[in-house]
Structure 1
Amino acid sequence: MLTREIIAAVEELCPPALAESWDAVGLVAGSPDWEARRILLAVDPCEKTVSEAIDGGYDMLLTHHPLYLRGTSTVGAHTTKGAWITDLIRAGVSLYAAHTNADSWGTAQAMADLLGLENARPLIPKEDDPTLGLGRIGTIAPVMLGELADRVADLLPRTPAGILVGGDEERVVETVAVSPGSGDSFLGLVNDSGADVYITADLRHHPATDHLWGGGAALISPTHFASEWPLLPKLAGALREMLPGLEVDVSTVVTDAWVSRR
């Protein structure tokens, strides 16, 4: 199998046209003509996942986050990211990123599936296909906020930073909005949607407090990594079905910035 065949499968599921205009998706390093039999999926391209891919004998590292989201003028090995690129190429491991195009396809849907949301639909549907888009909103059997937070903690990867909860933990919630990754820009939209609780990451102090003090939906905030990780097994399963001869593994290395809490 060639790398281009894997890319074609990924882009059939997550067309690059679904990516936001500011995003950088696609092949970052390596050649479409390289042979590939084993690939590793990870949230972040970083020293740990690059080493995992190389040491594990993988042919491709497929990450959710781009390595160079805002561009660069050098991939020289004297830079941190350039050294990773150099190591990957020397080892014959290609690097590919599927970011907001994968978000529209499956990142929020993966979270919705984990939680068992019924009638889940995008918070921001694509005009040409309303089944795709950013975020999801749906319903669950009524449950207290604290119990739902415990459920989220049990379903997502454990991280040192844990999970934050905003709101009355004894409040009963039923309509749930999710937007894995940084989601405080959607707080107004979440309120307009009628959600009882919003699950997202990277919540800043002032937007979160203004939202809660104004009577907005309760908040459950896992880390960025933990909230987006469920995309990986969903994507891995789809690729295994499309490419039966391909070995697809999912990294469980926690790549949050935070390594402990006091």
Structure 2
Amino acid sequence: MLVRDLERALFDRFPAQDAESWDHVGLSVGDPEAAVTGVAVALDATERNVRAAADRGANVLLTHHPVYIKAPDAFTPADAMRPSSSAAIYTAARLGVSILSFHTNLDRSHEVRELLPSLVGMQAASSLEYPGDPTARGLGSICTCAPRTLGELAAACAGAFGGAPRVWGDPDVAVERVAFLGGSLGSFGEDAMRWDAQAIVCGEGGYHVCQDLAIRGCGVILLGHDRSEDPFAAILMNAAISAGVDDAVLHRIGLPHQWWTVSTKEQERS
């Protein structure tokens, strides 16, 4: 299998036309005619992960997040005055690692829609982007569930995704209609409100957006952008195997500890 064959197979599964117009998906650096000797799967296309892929004998780094949205103006070794993508691309080219990324086109897949709610025992009815059409590929998920409190839902999310989510809303309020969205909430809180969601689980959201949603009766559970999307690596691994990559040369690169929180009794309900 060549790099271009793997890219084509993954685009068949996650069509490029499903990506946002601003997004950068597919091959960003590497030789499309190179034979695939190994594939490492990670959330991010960082220099650290490029080196980790090479250390494992993989000449393809398959990621959810692209190495860049807008290409940097130069590709150089790590330099505090340049974006980190400069060093990631420089190192990938030097080590012969091709970077393939499937971002918002993967976000719109049925596989992502179903995966996030399934981690807390829920089943997606349709996407948050197209709630009236269960067959359409779209961002996010909407679910109905047996009544549980927002606090119970948040605890289930903490267990499933790890970490300590930040939660907006009354922990004792009952929720039965829940929306899920990997990554940034953006304007999708309004879609959740139109669907009468009582809670939305996502990666991150702006202060005023979350405050407004909570006041209007929709709790918000913020998992952390990376924690909300790290499960997508399993989808990419399965897709690579389906494309013909031998699982003996398929490697998973886990999340680094790139941020942390401080918690005290006084800070738990700020």
- TM-score in terms of structure 1 length: 0.89
Q: Following the alignment from structure 1 to structure 2, what is the Cα–Cα distance between the partners of residues 59 and 217?
A: 45
Identity of aligned residues (%): 31
Q: Which amino acid aligns with 2:59?
A: D
> Could you tell me how far 1:128 is from its partner in structure 2?
10
Write the letter of the residue equivalent to 1:115. Answer: V
2:139 and 2:181 in contact (8 A); partners too = yes
- Written as runs of structure 1 = structure 2, the 5 A alignment for 1:15-164 is 15-77=15-77, 79=82, 80-105=84-109, 106-125=111-130, 130-156=135-161, 158-159=162-163, 162-164=164-166
CA deviations 1:36-92 (Å, max 9, x no partner) are 132111111113212211222111111111112123322233644333222222222
Unaligned 5+ residue runs, structure 1?
none
Q: Which ranges of structure 2 fall in alignment gaps of 5 or more residues?
A: 264-270
Letter in 2 for 1:241: S
Tell me how far apart the structure 2 counterparts of residues 223 and 148 of structure 1 sit (CA, whole Å). 16
Kept in 1: contact 2:64–2:103 (CA 8 A):
yes
Alignment of 1:229-244 (within 5 A): 229-243=230-244
What are the within-5 Å matches in structure 2 for residues 203-214 of structure 1?
203-213=205-215
With the length of structure 2 as denominator, give the TM-score of the two structures.
0.87
RMSD, aligned α-carbons = 2.3
Question: Greater CA deviation, 135-144 or 19-28?
Answer: 135-144
CA deviation string 1:171-214 (max 9, x = no partner)? 2212110111001311111011111210012211111112212x
Task: For 2:120 and 2:226, locate their aligned partners in 1 and report how far apart those are by CA, in whole Å.
Answer: 17
State the alpha-carbon separation in 1 of the partners of residues 119 and 90 from structure 2.
37
Residue 267 of structure 2 aligns with which residue? none
Residue 126 of structure 2 contacts residue 134 of structure 2 at CA under 8 Å; is this kept in 1?
Answer: no
What is the aligned length? 257
Cα distance change of structure 1 residues 59 and 205 upon mapping to structure 2, 3 Å threshold: same
- Provide the rounded CA distance (Å) in 1 between the counterparts of 2:231 and 2:27: 22
Distance 1:176 1:11 in 2: 30
Cα distance in 2, alignment partners of residues 147 and 29 from structure 1: 44
